[in-house]
Amino acid sequence: MHEFRYVNGELNCEQVPIRSLVEKYGTPLYVYSQKTFSDHFKKLDQALGALDHQICYALKANSNLAVLRTLVNAGSGFDIVSEGELRRVIAAGGNPKLCVFAGVGKTAREIEFALKKGIYSFNVESEAELVRINQIAGKLGKKAPIAIRVNPNIDAHTHAKITTGTYANKFGIAFEEIESIYARAAKLKNLKLRGLQMHIGSQLTEVEPFEQAVKKVLPLATRLAPKYNLEFFSIGGGLGIIYDNALASGSSDWWQKPEAKNLLNPEKYAATLVPLLKPLSLKILIEPGRFISGNSGVLVTRVEYVKQTGKKNFVIVDAAMNDLIRPAFYDSFHQIIPLRKSKAKEISSDVVGPICESGDFFAKDRMLPKVGEGDFLALLSAGAYGFVMASNYNSRGLAAEVLVNGNKGAVVRERQNLDDIWSSERIPKWLIA
């Protein structure tokens, strides 16, 4: 469920008509619902209530400071993948002691910074990384808390660019090697073995792959936990969201509808996994990113031109792949609706941005109500892997972001000034003389 719906024919975020935000702050504009972030967090938190657990929001999905603060206030920890992300968490008022550090390429500098800040665990992805963390911890006179990421070799049946849990992926350590790696890690004296971790992929819309992975790794966790005095088992993130009927999924009874019967939701996730995990008596961590932020944001764009070629109706908008790269990168689907509910005849349209790339599109051959110059469109479910993947390609400034809470809205990131795009670039003297 989310907080984007039509009220008197105008698309609202919570109680704010999005048009009023667009008139004030311009387009392209990301608009986020604070209530949706915290509701999604709470839903998952409650569903896991029977377990000793901690949600560590994966901030790579959406790391705006205001979003992080919303989740800090809800009690979230964080899954970080860089020093920058840890600094963001701290800047937002989050607690490093609730942070886990993931990723295959942690640099010495990043490890040192995270150790000094006292993070909860490094989720280690190779033996070389174990050795490096041990060495840096020794230098600092600290014990580094670690978990090893097990690759369970389970196919998550998701898009190739977001599947992580098979041996064809760069992530984790093979299931069969885990016990010997723990034995070796236990001999490194500057490490504290704290947990076991896995993450099999993103945008999973069925519970079965999670169930398979947990069932496969559970006996391993059961053996390792007493042997090394482990505290936690992290089952990763990856819970998928609804993209293709995103507007409907905002209604409170959506989960009960027949078309949603087979979709993953927190209740089903918990009903399947909690009974498996409960007997383990470890703290259970989960690292959802998309589930919390995906349906919490939209990207609003203005129609600049409508162009009919012999074959197609092109709707050319002022947002582009530099603002939201998901369609180009993952072939992903975003539902597109006008800010003002339209009764106009639907026609097959391609919604495209102004960038000189054929990949710069948001929808192809999509039935959309006829629109014209100056109309506004909302791309739904843009709260995860949206703004965070934005770039300055074509020297386009980064979009502004607005957070709505009830009947209030605030800019939580200013639109980037164009001068700022090249402000750190330099022309060497020899070119000027």
Ligand X SMILES: *Cc1c(COP(=O)(O)O)cnc(C)c1O
Q: Where are the beta strands (DSSP E) in 278-423?
A: 283-286, 297-308, 313-317, 336-338, 346-352, 361-369, 376-379, 400-405, 408-413
Task: Output DSSP code: residue 204.
Answer: B
Shortest separation between residue 287's beta carbon and ligand X, angstroms: 4
- The DSSP element (H or E) to which 213 belongs, if any, is helix 208-228
- CB nearer ligand X, residue 142 or residue 268: 268
Closest CA to 56 of 3, 102, 105: 102
- CB nearer ligand X, residue 162 or residue 378: 162
- The DSSP element (H or E) to which 173 belongs, if any, is strand 173-174
- Dist CA 250 CA 36 (whole Å): 10
Shortest separation between residue 236's beta carbon and ligand X, angstroms: 5
Shortest separation between residue 390's beta carbon and ligand X, angstroms: 17
- CB nearer ligand X, residue 77 or residue 288: 288
- Dist CA 87 CA 231 (whole Å): 25
The C-alpha R_g of the chain, in whole angstroms, comes to 23
- CB nearer ligand X, residue 239 or residue 284: 239
- Dist CA 193 CA 71 (whole Å): 28
Residues that bind ligand X (CB under 6 A): 58, 60-61, 79, 102, 199, 202-203, 236-239, 287-291
The angle formed by the CA atoms of residues 68, 163 and 263, to the nearest 5 degrees, is: 75
- Dist CA 140 CA 236 (whole Å): 29
Half-sphere exposure of 206 (CA within 13 A, CB side): 10
- Sign of the C-alpha dihedral, residues 311, 315, 320, 324? negative
Alpha-carbon distances, residue 289 vs 37, 40, 63, 81, 183 (angstroms): 10, 11, 10, 12, 32
Shortest separation between residue 111's beta carbon and ligand X, angstroms: 17
- CB nearer ligand X, residue 288 or residue 327: 288
- CB nearer ligand X, residue 94 or residue 237: 237
Closest CA to 378 of 12, 14, 38: 12
Tokens of 15: 């109680």
- CB nearer ligand X, residue 102 or residue 299: 102
356 classed as catalytic: yes
- Dist CA 69 CA 75 (whole Å): 10
Alpha-carbon distances, residue 57 vs 72, 238, 359 (angstroms): 10, 11, 30
- CB nearer ligand X, residue 289 or residue 338: 289
Residues paired with residue 17 on neighbouring β-strands, in sequence order: 12
Residue with tokens 């009960």: 256
Shortest separation between residue 17's beta carbon and ligand X, angstroms: 30
**Which sequence positions are flagged as catalytic?**
356
